[in-house]
Structure 1
């Protein structure tokens, strides 16, 4: 990427500079308005608050969010709306200076708000992520390029593995289409991370990590917001080039779709994840066959999904990485509406497929689960403790961590994936 596309939108100086410029811009929009009386600014503030509330309600009703928007996000939406309202008032009745500079000031406030909301969620880390340049040139997975199983001989035992001198320093990311052979599900493009050791012709049989993004979202979010390649390369560098073969899959099929990772009236997403995806991985990527060395993880919707797969299919996914997951799948705030849309109102059919129900009737002494949530995300932290406690009571080996100074943000999985893999490294046979 060039200097512009590599510009950091989350932690670099851009967001800070925009916020600093927004302060005098907001002051300019208010100056004079207060001198003429507080009525218009107060009306604008009330309207801005209403717009922010309406935006939160729309996000939930449209499927963009299954939970209320956090207060910092609502505050920035209100600030942007207020700036636009004040600028519009200045254009309508203000002097020429306000008519000229008011829109400029509003744009500065709106830009700062957009950057701060993005920083809260950690979604677009760079300009390249925002423009799609970060994932546009990822090559497809092919046997001819040495990526897939057809090019690999019998794997060597891990006990005799020593990194050869020609092993690359970094892993490779490839794109792939995983067909819904058994499920009939049509998924978007998946991404595969192949660790440095996989590039060696006689490599060990490596463990598997399946990842699911949040909703709304796409598999590419793990590469951009989740910093997947950076995290896995760092892990591999500390483990003789070894890391899980990681496959980021799509159980939704569209940006705002929500299958809840279930087999329901909506789609057969459970069959896709539990049957089609593992079969494709086994046939294509030469992984370890021992499913004690297989894991599934995800963020938000994806974390909920990961826990479902580990609870319903422990023979396939013995390990789960649950980052900011929900207590149970949901299509929105109304549980009744969720059950009606997905199971025709059959509450028992829905609940039978939830992890909390499974934990009451099954034992998971051979399963492990790592949980993480943002320390400032009270709702999902509560969900984490509820599900982690139930999993532990069902026999799972569990660890739960809070990520300091973070809300419901992609910064949670970006920060927690490395420690989660360290915790699992012995179980995945990646460390002594």
Structure 2
């Protein structure tokens, strides 16, 4: 089992073996010296495109599993997988058991190849343990020794690196039921004389879960590296669930869907302040996220700058959304009241209010076409409203966790002086 946990899904022997098997399997499925088979290939591709297009439309426009269209790369690899399935089925009639077995093996190889390519695009699961949730499942609960106590912090042995714990943050005020949060405690927090550190609240994408910051976002090693440069000092990071499940979408708003804004702006800060030994100075708090989580982070800072004065936005949306149909979003969440929805969006708020003295870090992949435009529009609006904005782009990256992995260190360096953390 340990071997499987360490199995890399993005490089190494397993990845390259699947790559080779996928190419060989694809060649077997494509090759058959017959003009009729050429027609079968055309039919398979056309059918695959139609099936993928329908499923994509269903997921985005009907079931609203995704708030935006999926990247072209992901759709293309999905077409490859469905084309392989069609060619496998076309091979079955009149074939020997050997040919059927070879076709089945070839289909599985192509399917695995396509799945690894999609995973590599999103950058979510680096190992089999990430995919299976083994490492995340082993993370223990936040113990009393790490909590704020009336008599002062309990003595804890100094650590060379930070640790991650899980905890349930109740929706006392909001009534919201969230999945467990994950808390990164830096080395300075684990010292006997615990210092009150800055706080960074993070959100994952949608669909997604808080654990995605540990797998795709490589949060723990990134924060440990930052702490190592600053004598063990780094923010306490709390990765929170704003949706309640992997596929739900609250848009981080108080609406007919849920009181997510109240949860994030009241329940979460209250729990952090009452449970953890952290700085009570609001200037030392920040919020961030990837994709949906980036949009949520900008909402928190523009709506509640007194709680979250700084934000980090990786590959954020233009505005909260349940899907491409804006009117459907407004109807579902606000009963068709456009004014109520608009009043809560960052772009609207940044037109009306001044955010002088506040800061934001915005990053996006250069291959993430639509989201690159969003990033430019949001950064321009933020600067116009007084934010101190730092922009970055990751060359060649699409809508991928690679943006967060590469740019989180830069975002931390940008915000460190505001948090009183010096080199």
The answer to whether the superposition gives a TM-score over 0.5 is: yes
CA–CA distance in structure 2, aligned partners of residues 117 and 251 of structure 1: 25
Q: Which residue of 2 aligns with 1:319?
A: 310
Cα distance 1:139–1:249, how it changes in 2: closer, same or farther (>3 A)?
Answer: same
Q: Which residue of 1 aligns with 2:419?
A: 428
Q: Which residue of 1 aligns with 2:12?
A: 12
Cα RMSD over matched residues?
1.8
Could you tell me whether the CA contact under 8 Å between 2:147 and 2:153 is conserved in 1?
A: no
Give the alignment of 1:13-412 within 5 angstroms. 13-32=13-32, 34-60=34-60, 61-143=62-144, 146-150=145-149, 153=152, 167-412=158-403
CA–CA distance in structure 1, aligned partners of residues 121 and 172 of structure 2: 39
Deviations along 1:25-60, one digit per CA (max 9) or x if unpaired, are 111111116454522111111111112212321321
User: What TM-score results when the alignment is normalised by the length of structure 2?
Assistant: 0.96
CA–CA distance in structure 1, aligned partners of residues 408 and 33 of structure 2: 50
User: What TM-score results when the alignment is normalised by the length of structure 1?
Assistant: 0.94
1:338, distance to aligned residue in structure 2 (A)? 0.2
Cα distance 1:14–1:54, how it changes in 2: closer, same or farther (>3 A)?
Answer: farther
Deviations along 1:263-320, one digit per CA (max 9) or x if unpaired, are 0010000010001100110111111111111000000000000000000000000100
1:203, distance to aligned residue in structure 2 (A)? 2.2
Could you tell me whether the CA contact under 8 Å between 1:118 and 1:124 is conserved in 2?
A: yes
Q: Which residue of 2 aligns with 1:158?
A: none
Deviations along 1:154-197, one digit per CA (max 9) or x if unpaired, are 89xxxxxxxxxx63111111110111111111111111110001
Name structure 2 gaps, 5 residues minimum: none
Cα distance 1:57–1:141, how it changes in 2: closer, same or farther (>3 A)?
Answer: same
1:10, distance to aligned residue in structure 2 (A)? 2.0
Deviations along 1:309-354, one digit per CA (max 9) or x if unpaired, are 0000000001000011011000011000000000000000000000
CA–CA distance in structure 2, aligned partners of residues 37 and 179 of structure 1: 60
Cα distance 1:136–1:37, how it changes in 2: closer, same or farther (>3 A)?
Answer: closer
Could you tell me whether the CA contact under 8 Å between 1:152 and 1:202 is conserved in 2?
A: no
Deviations along 1:90-121, one digit per CA (max 9) or x if unpaired, are 11233443222111111100010011101101
Cα distance 1:152–1:359, how it changes in 2: closer, same or farther (>3 A)?
Answer: farther
1:404, distance to aligned residue in structure 2 (A)? 1.4
CA–CA distance in structure 1, aligned partners of residues 13 and 419 of structure 2: 39
> Matched residue pairs, number?
422
Secondary structure at 1:258 match in 2: coil
Could you tell me whether the CA contact under 8 Å between 1:219 and 1:250 is conserved in 2?
A: yes
